[in-house]
Amino acid sequence: MSQGLIAEVGAADATEIVGARAIEGRSPWQLAFDRLRHDRVAIASAVVIALVAMMAIFAPVVAHIVGHPRDAQYHTTGLSPAGIPVGPGRRFLLGADELGRDVLVRVFYGARISLLVGVVASSLATAAGVVIGLVAGYFGRIVDTILSRFMDAVLSLPYLVFAIALVSVLGHPSLIVTIGVISFFSFSAVGRIVRGQVLSLREKEFVEAANALGAGPLRIMFVDILPNVLAPVIVYLTLLIPAAIVFEATLSFLGIGVVPPTPSWGSMLAESLDYYEVAWWFVVFPGLALLITTLSFNLLGDSVRDAFDPRYARLFVTKEPSGRTATTAEAEPA
Amino acid sequence: MTRFLARRVVFGIIVLWLVATLVFIMYFVAPHDPARLLAGKGATALTLRDVRHRLGLDRPILQQYGSYLWNFLQGNLGYSYFSQEPVTTIIGQDLPVTASVAVGGSVLWLLIGVTSGVLAATRPRSISDRAVTALALFFYSMPTFLLGELFLLLLFFRLHLLGFDFFPGGGYVGLTQDPVQWLRHMILPWFTIALVTASVYSRLTRGSMLDVLGEDYIRTARAKGLRERRVIYRHGLRAALAPVVTQFGIDLGTLLGGIIVTETVFGLPGLGQQIVQAITRQDQPVIIGFVIVASTFIVVANIVVDLLYAVLDPRVRLS
């Protein structure tokens, strides 16, 4: 009798020796990370993102090597006698812009703005969304009604129109305003996801247990419930970054984002709009940088989502981490 | 049904009131003096007081708020600081351009999104499924203005250099003036708006279609001996469209944003250009009017979308 009990306890234990290999119990986080590590798309996009980050970090070094400071205008070497920007060549590797500035150097500096705004704005939005979602879901009733209606209203606003109005009323566009505007229009999607999860989590036994042990609402919300909603939050955060990068580029394109002469890929593309007929490089290089960055973040975000959700079948995965063949769990119409 | 409609309308009115109040706080309560702007830099204190009085800015804030809301209710959006024209006239003038871009763009957007999604869902894991998924991700990552610029560079300018002048390089021709030219000038803007947003719909339709095709009534339809085409389009797609339609309502705000950007890229003289111009001139009444009209459009469209939802999926009962 007691023998059987011990055996059962042993089986439930995290580690058990089967043959020569130890089978370890792994947390969902370890599982997700393991799937990511073996996902070629995820690795490739992470490498590209790391390269873009290097561009941002080493922009001054590159400027020093080429000998062209960020905003320096070369009216004699960068522009033809007729005032047309010179194309890619030995002096300007990626060509010059309409003021005779080096496109290569400015594309490198542009990576700073995109990454900074993308990461900071989406982190702020996620943090705000998590707090508001937790509060709305945990307290329920009137608090929930007010916060949810507010989030619905923000979601139904024509956000670009409102962002434009907001920037115009704040007077001068600036980096801080840009980040604030993007965060404000992005938090409610996260907030709604978290709220939905919390609504069901707060009825679980562990919350009841924490309550019985005398934990206050703050402790229950942030220590007990929060870890359980982190997976969808992280997935959403990675997908929010490229959206924030596009948002910043769009604001800068419309002239209400980053202030010139600070280069942003969006503002460079706006400047190039009048020159695409004579200077294709002025459109193509900032455009490529922007597209490759958002594409990598979106691919990584997709992989992160799949890593956390094993039911979701991959289209491009050929090998599973353990060496099994491709998953066939695709929701085939039965 | 009536109760549902009434509740939606009430919520819509609340949203509009919220928008109007937000705009009011932004423009009238915030430390920001339109009178100084309007009177010009060299204005004397006397002129400034005069302008302030004319704009009603010297009245108590609540009274200003009241007359501000009352004017909206009467459909009076004020007068442009710049051209002195009524804002409603300005919006009315530019509406045809924006409507051309919006209607054509969203028809194309839904058409591309839904057909590619159905194509991918009916042959899961096939080449076409993978191609659609990859393309969707590509266009999803593409900022609207970048796609527009690339269209101009490649489809207008490069083709023009090669001697093909099929796509014009921007500008607008009225539909009533010359329908063929109107269509030619609209093609690139339409695709610019459609391709970026269609990518989301392609993925959405694919997922929703895969779910629906697994349901019992689809098997019943097949067992009855209906043709596959009829099963997919009449039985499957109709139910699968419900989440797509909901998303469309949510994305109308995105559509407006896309229109502003697209009009800027292609130099179309519509509402999008008007508001960008109004912002550089700090023409408050035009900005406010635009925000109010845009929000009203979105609120109304969302109610229509909710009604459509019930028409598409007979299982949905509005209550």
pLDDT digits (tens, 9 = 90+) for A117-127: 999 999 999 99
Q: Are A232 and A58 in contact (CB under 8 A)?
A: no
Residues of A in contact with B287 (CB under 8 A): 164-165, 168
The pLDDT confidence band at residue A5, using thresholds 50, 70 and 90, is very low
pLDDT of residue A273: 83
Contact B30 A277 (CB under 8 A): no
Among the partner-chain residues B214, B256, B291, the one whose CB lies closest to the CB of A334 is B214
Compute the distance between CA of residue A200 and CA of residue A198 in angstroms, rounded to an integer: 5
Neighbours of A6 (CB within 10 A): 10
Which of A149, A168, A276 is nearest residue B157 as measured by Cβ atoms? A276
Best mutation target, B26, B149, B162, to test chain A (most A CBs within 10 A): B149
- Partners of A102 in beta bridges: A96
- Statement: residue A155 has pLDDT above 80: no
Is the CB of B145 less than 8 angstroms away from the CB of A277? no
- Among the partner-chain residues A158, A269, A315, the one whose CB lies closest to the CB of B298 is A158
**Distance from C-alpha of B301 to C-alpha of A267, rounded to nearest angstrom:** 33
Question: Around Cβ A30, how many Cβ atoms within 10 Å?
Answer: 11
> Phi and psi at residue A20, in whole multiples of 5°?
-100, -10
Q: Are A108 and A62 in contact (CB under 8 A)?
A: yes
Would you say B306 and B245 are in contact if contact means Cβ atoms under 8 Å apart?
no
pLDDT digits (tens, 9 = 90+) for A238-272: 888 998 998 888 888 888 888 878 888 888 888 88
Closest CA to B246 of B312, B317, B195: B312
Which residue do the tokens 């509060």 mark? A135
Chains A, B: CB contacts within 8 A come to: 143
The segment with the largest mean pLDDT, out of A27-41, A169-183, B143-157, B173-187, is B143-157
CB contact under 8 A, A291 and B142: yes
How far, CA to CA in Å, does B76 sit from each of A104, A194, B20?
A: 51, 41, 13
For residue A269, give the nearest of B124, B149, B257 by CB distance: B149
**What's the pLDDT score for residue A37?**
80
> Which residue of A149, A150, A162, A166 is the best one to mutate when testing the B interface, meaning the one whose CB has the most B CBs within 10 A?
A162
Percentage of chain A surpassing pLDDT 90? 10
DSSP label of A21: E
- Number of other residues whose CB lies within 10 A of the CB of residue A90: 5
User: Is residue A261 reached through a cis peptide bond, with omega within 30 degrees of 0 on the bond before it?
Assistant: yes
DSSP per-residue letters across B188-256: HHHHHHHHHHHHHHHHHHHHHHHHHHTSHHHHHHHHTT--HHHIIIIIIIHHHHHHHHHHHHHTHHHHH
Q: How confident is the model at residue A71 (pLDDT cuts 50, 70, 90)?
A: confident
B295 interaction partners in chain A (CB closer than 8 Å): 157-158
Within 8 A of B193 by CB-CB distance, chain A residues are none
pLDDT of residue A9: 44
Contact call for residues B166 and B188 (beta carbons, < 8 A): no
A48 half-sphere exposure, CB direction, 13 A CA radius: 18
- Kindly list the distances between the CA atom of residue B293 and the CA atoms of A146, B67, B290, in Å, as whole numbers in the listed order: 25, 18, 5
How big is chain A, counted in residues? Answer: 334
User: Which among A164, A273, A334 has CB closest to B149?
Assistant: A273
Buried b (16+ CB within 10 A) or exposed e, A165-179: bbbbbbeebebebbb
**Strand pairing partners for A16?**
A23
CB B143 within 8 A of CB A267: no
Whether B260 sits inside 8 A of A160 (CB atoms) is: yes
Closest residue on chain B to A239 (Cα):
B141
pTM exceeds 0.90, yes or no: no
Q: Is B31 exposed, middle or buried (0-12, 13-18, 19+ CB in 10 A)?
A: exposed
Q: Which residues of B touch A250 (CB under 8 A)?
A: 143-145, 257, 261
C-alpha distances (whole Å) from B249 to each of A153, B148, B159, B254, B303 are 13, 24, 37, 10, 8
Phi, psi of A96 (to 5 degrees): -120, 165
Alpha-helical regions (H) of B74-178: 87-122, 127-140, 144-151, 159-161
Q: How far is B211 from chain A (nearest CA, A)?
A: 8
Report which of residues B269 and A308 the model is more confident about: B269
Question: Could you say which residues from 110 to 139 on chain A have a Cβ atom under 8 Å away from some Cβ of chain B?
Answer: none
From CA B67, how far away is CA B90, in angstroms rounded? 22
| Residues within 8 A of B (CB atoms), A 298-327 only | 298-299, 302, 315-316
Token couple for A322? 């353990």
- Kind and range of the H or E element at A15? strand A15-18
Chain A residues with CB under 8 Å of B19 CB are 157
Q: Could you tell me the two tokens for B269?
A: 């003289």
The rounded Cα A280 to chain-centroid distance in angstroms is 29
Residues from chain A contacting residue B260 (CB–CB below 8 Å): 160-161, 164, 254
Query: What are B300's two structure tokens?
Result: 């109304």
Tens of pLDDT, residues A91-133? 777 877 777 788 888 889 988 888 999 999 999 999 999 999 8
For residue B147, which phi and psi values (nearest 5 degrees)? -60, -45
Rounded (to 5) percent helix, strand, coil in chain B: 75, 0, 20
Tokens in use for A325? 């063949």
Are B150 and A254 within 8 A, CB to CB?
Answer: no
Q: Which of B91, B146, B167, B209 to mutate to test the interface with A (most CBs of A within 10 A)?
A: B146
Contacts of B265 in chain A (CB under 8 A): 273
Question: Which CATH class, in words, describes the domain spanning A57-316?
Answer: mainly alpha
Contact B218 A333 (CB under 8 A): yes
Element housing B260 (H / E): helix B252-266
A172 touches chain B (CB under 8 A): no
Contact A158 B153 (CB under 8 A): no
pLDDT band at A171 (very low <50, low <70, confident <90, very high): low
List, for residues A270-302, the tens digit of each pLDDT value: 888 888 777 888 888 899 999 999 999 988 888
Residue of A nearest to B264 (CA): A254
Fill in the amino acid letter for B78: G
What are the chain B neighbours of A168 within 8 Å (beta carbons)?
279, 282, 287
How many Å apart are CA A312 and CA A291, to the nearest integer?
A: 26
User: What amino acid is encoded at B124 in this protein?
Assistant: P
Residue B127's nearest CA partner among B139, B115, B119 is B119
CA distance A306 to A299: 11
Mark B180-189 as b/e (b = at least 16 C-beta within 10 Å): eebeebbbbb
ipTM (interface predicted TM): 0.80
A250 touches chain B (CB under 8 A): yes
Q: What is the pLDDT of chain A when averaged over all its residues?
A: 78
> Measured between CA atoms, how close is B187 to chain A, in angstroms?
19
Report how far Cα B48 is from the mean position of its chain's Cα atoms: 39
Measured between CB atoms, does A246 come within 8 Å of chain B? yes
Taking chain B (319 residues) in runs of 10, the rounded mean pLDDT of each run is 78 83 74 63 74 74 80 79 83 86 88 88 81 86 88 80 75 76 84 87 86 83 84 82 79 81 87 82 81 83 77 59
Q: Say how far apart CA A214 and CA A235 lie, in whole Å.
A: 32
**In sequence order, which ranges of A202-225 are alpha helices (DSSP H)?**
205-212, 217-219
> Six-digit token pair at A143?
């608090």
pLDDT of residue B319: 45
Confirm if B129 and B120 have CB atoms less than 8 A apart: yes
Candidates B21, B33, B141, B160: best to mutate against A (most CBs of A within 10 A) is B141
Whole-number Å distance between alpha carbons of B167 and B156: 5
Residue A23 backbone dihedrals phi, psi, to 5 degrees: -100, 120
Helix (H) or strand (E) holding A24: strand A21-24
What pLDDT score was predicted for residue B167? 74
